[in-house]
Amino acid sequence: MTQLCLVRHGQTDWNLEGRYQGQSDVPLNANGHAQAKSLAAQLNGQTFAAVYASDLMRARETAEPLARDKGLPVQIDIRLREINQGEWEGQLVDDIKARYAELWAQRTGDPASVRPPGGETVGEVAARVHAALDDIARLHPTGAALVVSHGLSIATAICRARGIPVGQAYTVIPENVQPVWMEWESK
């Protein structure tokens, strides 16, 4: 089994504002850059066979100091992106709850199969993220791989690794730059 270190990107201004980022390409803020540097120092003693990241700027900017310290390139995989929030991207969560009250209630009740307008379901996110992690595990059957991604994307992996239904992914989203270590077996 492959050892994975999954890391959610550093902080963005949209994190602070309570906006749904989804696949919008939002950069790290100053604190997010500091978090990435601090994480690189924290993981200094770890050996990684490879560093992977989502193609979104906030994930790449978090991965770069880590990869640079390890002398490894950041390998980009678009499948590691955050959930596509469709029309909800860029909106404040409280505004979404008010404007889309009925759909919000449906999605809260069944996030694995209910999507925001023009977006993805949690089940669809899990399918693409798990396929990416399966491929990474096949490429690195021994050793560890570092994967910098997004909160919900990582939460779907946590669900699979811990045997939690993917519909509960919103309950296990890690904090920004919190490393989550797991054994990953390809399917």
Catalytic center residues = 9, 82
Beta-sheet strand order (sheet of 179-184): 74-76, 50-53, 144-149, 2-8, 179-184
Instruction: For residues 172 and 81, give the distance between their C-alpha atoms in angstroms, rounded to a whole number.
Output: 17
Supply the DSSP string of the chain, one letter for each residue.
-EEEEEEE----HHHHHTB--TTS-PPP-HHHHHHHHHHHHHTTT---SEEEE-SSHHHHHHHHHHHHHHT-PEEE-GGGPPP--GGGTTSBHHHHHHHTHHHHHHHHH-TTT---TTS--HHHHHHHHHHHHHHHHHH-SSSEEEEEE-HHHHHHHHHHHHT--GGGGGGGPPPTT-EEEEEE---
